[in-house]
Amino acid sequence: MWLLDVGAILDQENDIRGFDAEIEVLKLSNDKSTSYAILSHRWGDGSEVTYDEMTGLAAMKPQKRDNVRERDGYQKIIKSCEQAKKDGYKWMWIDTCCIDKRSSAELSEAINSMYRWYRNAQKCYVYLNDVVESNGWPEWFSRGWTLQELIAPTEVEFFNNSWVSIGTKRDLTSSLEVITRIPEMVLKYEQVLRSTSTRPGVAHIMSWAAHRKTTRVEDRAYSLMGLFGVNMPMLYGEGSKAFQRLQLEIIRVSSDHSIFAWNSKGQRPKLLPRVYRRRKSESIWIHQRTRAVYVPPERTLP
């Protein structure tokens, strides 16, 4: 994975007239042996800084460089690095500029590794650009990719649009459970998703994503791969077939048949095995042998 050199980024920014094209602001590193912070955020329309722009910033003509530096996306990078430095981290990962999206192979590797990268990060900063002080409903909670970015990291801290801390995942667990419908145990201990004895049912995990949206149809499926511990190649342009491939991959590694029970009305679809029984007065189905729980979402995925 490519990581931003926090010191190099901030030194360069503080001495903008002394931009040195020889200084490397991105370094190829190992997520398992490097201590780094990571950013979770809502992408801005046309304001984000790409890998190509970040690596070529020092060599740009002054006017073009200033245009990049004035973008909200660039300021987000600087503020993230300032927070990382304050917390004692030398390396930072941000999806907008740490993936060379010109390479389809690198993009595919990054998407298949992203859950692990968030899980292995020492700290995750969640930047809520639409929250003033501590008020407002963040769009961050409605996006597909941010689901895994909430669950995977152990340490998560939320910031408003002025980069003022408004709490941590640990402190806000009860509120987050109400907002996201993700059980408190999963929010506190991500490893329960990797345990055969404590893992929620497949359909239950699917329900957490029911109200979330992605810009690309395929990302509805790709953003869920890490939660189910599966991998598959990226085929942008395949549309809803991506979700079908995700289902097949889940079936291949899991014996949980609730994957077929994706029904918006809480009714037993034809494909839901008879071993599931509906609990009286509740819209949940219980697997009679494994006790896996299916919680039907209010809205179906593709």
Distance of alpha carbon 232 from alpha carbon 230, whole angstroms: 7
**Radius of gyration for the alpha carbons in the chain, expressed in angstroms and rounded:** 21
Tell me, what's the pLDDT at 106?
A: 94
Tell me, what's the pLDDT at 19?
A: 60
Tell me, what's the pLDDT at 78?
A: 97
Regions of the chain short of the pLDDT cut 70: 16-22, 134-136, 260-302
Amino acid at 82: E
Provide the β-strand partners of residue 26.
4
Tell me, what's the pLDDT at 291?
A: 52
Tell me, what's the pLDDT at 297?
A: 44
Provide the β-strand partners of residue 117.
none
Say whether 126 sits in a helix, a strand or coil.
strand
Give pTM, 2 decimals. Answer: 0.84
**Model confidence over 136-189: pLDDT tens digits?**
679 999 999 999 999 999 999 999 999 999 999 999 999 999 999 999 999 999
Distance of alpha carbon 164 from alpha carbon 298, whole angstroms: 34
Tell me, what's the pLDDT at 17?
A: 53
Token output for 189: 């201990």
DSSP 8-state symbol, 132: B
Tell me, what's the pLDDT at 265?
A: 37
Residue 121 buriedness (CB in 10 A; 0-12 / 13-18 / 19+): buried
